[in-house]
Each structure stands twice: as C-alpha cells, then as structure tokens.
Amino acid sequence: MFKAFLLKYAEIGLKGNNRYLFENALRDRVREALAPLGEFVVSKEQGRIFIECPEVYDYEESVSALKKVFGIWSICPVVVIESSEWDSLTKGVGDYVEAMYPERHFTFKVEAKRADKNYPRTSPEICIEMGAYLLKRFPEMKVDVHNPSVRITVEVRTKSYVYSIVIPGLGGMPVGTNGKAMLLLSGGIDSPVAGYMISKRGVSMAATYFHAPPYTSDRAKQKVVDLADKISKYTGKLNLYVVNFTDIQLYIYEQCPHEELTIIMRRYMMKIAEKLAEKENCLGLVTGESIGQVASQTMHSLAATNEVCTLPVYRPLIALDKQEIVEIAQRIDTFEISIQPFEDCCTIFVAKHPVTKPNLKTIRHSEMKLQDKIDELVETALNTVEIIPIG
Ligand code: ATP
Ligand code: MG
C-alpha cells in the first residue's frame, strides 16, 4: 500500500551552512542504494528525503537497502494525500487508518507537523481535530496521549503525508561527507567491522589486502573480495588493492629474529598501505586492532606498528571485546565469511613465541638487516599491486 517513503535524518541537521552538502550526499547515497531495485525518485524536501516508489517494487528489499544507508535516522513508509485542504486531509488520514488497521481496537495519538506556517490550523489544532475525526469515524479506537499503541503522524505540506510505521535507520553520516580512509582488510573478523564503523561517520573507503602466494591461496583472496563486497553495501564502491607480500615476508623471515617477525611485517604493511593511501587521496589508515587481543596488539606492539606511519591510524575496535566485535560482524553479515578457514599471510611464518613487548630500538636494529633489498622489494610490491573495483 505504500508508494512513498519519508526519511528522517538527525545529526546532519546540525551542520549549519554545510547542511546542503550533507543532504545532497544522503540523497545521492539513497539513490545509489535503490538504483538496483527500480526507478525510485529521490528528492530533498524541507528537512526530509522523499522517495517516490515505482508502480511495482519490493517493499522488503527496499527497506532492507535503506537500512544500510548511513545518515538515515528513520524510515517512514508514507501515504501521500494530494491535497492538504482540511476535508481531504481528514478523509485521507481516515482512509489510511482503515486500510492499515482492519482491527481497530487500539489506543492512538495523532501527531502533526506543518511545514507551512500559514496553514489555517496550528499543529496542536490539527492533532485535536484529527483525533476527534478519527474517533467519530472509528468509535472502537481510543485516545491515549501518553502511551498510545499507534502514533499516527501527519506532516502537512503542499501535499500531506501520513504514517504510523517508523523503522529505525542506521544513524551515522552519509558516506562521502568526511573524506576517505584506507582500510587494512584481512580475511579476519575484525577489519571488516573496523571499516564499517569508520564509514558510519561519513568516511568513504579504499582497502588494502596483503597476500602471500603460494603460501596463501586464491580462496583466501576471494574471501577478502567477498568481505569487501559485503562492506561496500555500507561504504559504497571501493577499490581493493591486493599487494603481493610474499617476497617481503620471506626476506624478513630470512634476516630478522623470528619472534619479531609479526611486528616487522606489520610495520611494512603499514608503510605500504600508507603509500597506497596517498595514491587514493586517503586521509588516514584504518585497522581492526584491539588492545591485547593478540601479541601483536599489546600497547607496546601497537606503539611499534604506529611508529612508521605519518597518516593518522584509526582503530575503531581498540576498546571492544571480541564478543562485541563478533556481534557487529553478525549484524553486518560479514561473520560467516570471516570464519571460513583459509590461511592468512600473517599466520604462516608466525613464531611460537612472538615478542609481546617489542622494544623499538631492537626492532629498528633488526630492520637494519633488511637494508640491502627491502626498498626494492617494497617498490616491486607497489608496482605490481592488483586493483579490484568493488561494488
Ligand atoms: P582481523 O580479524 O581483522 O584479521 P586479527 O584479530 O586477525 O584481525 P591481526 O591478524 O593481528 O588481527 O591483524 C590486525 C590488523 O592488521 C587487522 O585488523 C588488519 O587491519 C591488519 N591486517 C592483518 N593482516 C592483514 C592482511 N593480510 N592484509 C591486510 N591487513 C591486514
Ligand atoms: Mg587477521
């Protein structure tokens, strides 16, 4: 029965003079999300986004797509009443109630908003008089202004909108309003969640994956492509950079103490990701690290990894427990992919007893042993990177 949606946004309403940028971005993200589902017409309308649906469309699919768009506070399927003249309005709202609720033994409250301050009734008057109209037409309904089971909202504009279903949106800010970041995306549980979380604040994404063929398989790489594809439902299109890390890993393995391998490897991952970030105009790096989760994520290890970067490194999971991360992964539907059992490049050469408190001086000293070839290897890795467009 719904041929239109009204979308409400919260935070972007606070952006003063830049407000239109946020509204335009949200409108564009909504258009992109709905484009594969039909010819929806999406427009901005006085503090709302208004969507006209095509004649035939899938309601569930459309709502589910909208629930993945950052910046939406709530999604209201609405019925449009073509004229706001009082008799049409009351009739329209009454018809809505009749169609929506065949069983009308419930308590209700009318809420009204009017965009046009010259409308002959004030909002409280609309509520009272509309309530009276509905009571008369449907005597089985009862008013409860404090705790109604149905809230019937009427927004009066040139046309009017009536709705009583309010579906919570994702919140956050529209992607594209806050620059871009480079996500270090592995096949694990954490990094896709990290990308999702940063993107929630309006940041668009690029991603880098380090693989080590033949030690890691094409299936392991495909898993990362699948994860990137999942998060792109939220972040929008992104480029996935696949870096061949094998020679660098082998070289570190040959030259450096094995217990320092993971840390040194991580430092090179960060350096390479930073180079790719520059190429993509990214303003920061994003990782799925969380304090203490594994040896390479103690405060000491994080300090050692962080040292090589000049771009800020965003770690949105830093204070989350694994279970909290898993819950988000399940919600955004990456968990099942992440737990597929494919080898990760970091686990292959991993030492039995990695350092948990790396000393920066020692690490730097060990890295001196890489002097001969490392720059050339990094250069080759950068020159042979594969770019996979996602989404
Ligand atoms: P994840 O679940 O994201 O793999 P994790 O708990 O396995 O994380 P680590 O393997 O220690 O943790 O990796 C820490 C972070 O380093 C990851 O969240 C990711 O951002 C980055 N990272 C690790 N391995 C890779 C890789 N092969 N390619 C790209 N980034 C990686
Ligand atoms: Mg991992």
Query: Poorest-confidence range of 83-92, 125-134, 244-253, 295-304?
Result: 295-304
Closest atom of ligand 1 to 192 CA is 3
Instruction: For the domain made up of 180-390, give the CATH fold.
Output: Rossmann fold (3.40.50)
Q: SS3 letters for the chain?
A: CCCEEEEECCHHHHCHHHHHHHHHHHHHHHHHHHHHHCCCEEEEECCEEEEECCCCCCHHHHHHHHCCCCCEEEEEEEEEECCCCHHHHHHHHHHHHHHHCCCCCCEEEEEEEECCCCCCCCHHHHHHHHHHHHHHHCCCCEECCCCCCEEEEEEECCCEEEECCCEEEEECECCCCCCEEEEECCCCCHHHHHHHHHHCECCEEEEEEEECCCCCCHHHHHHHHHHHHHHHHHHCCEEEEEEECHHHHHHHHHHCCHHHHHHHHHHHHHHHHHHHHHHCCCCCEECCCCCCCCHHHCHHHHHHHHCCCCCCEECCCCCCCHHHHHHHHHHCCCHHHHCCCCCCHHHHCCCCCCCCCCCHHHHHHHHHCCCCCHHHHHHHHHHCCEEEEEC
184 within ligand 1 shell (Cβ under 6 A): yes
* pLDDT tens figures, 183-237: 999 999 999 999 999 999 999 999 999 999 999 999 999 999 999 999 999 999 9
Instruction: For the domain made up of 4-168, give the CATH fold.
Output: VC0802-like (3.30.2130)
pLDDT over 90, % of the chain: 88
Give residue 347's pLDDT. 67
Closest atom of ligand 1 to 208 CA is 29
pTM score of the predicted model? 0.92
Residue ranges of domains in the chain:
4-168, 180-390
Distance 175 CA to ligand 2 centre (A): 26
* pLDDT tens figures, 98-119: 999 999 999 999 999 998 888 9
Distance 255 CA to ligand 2 centre (A): 23
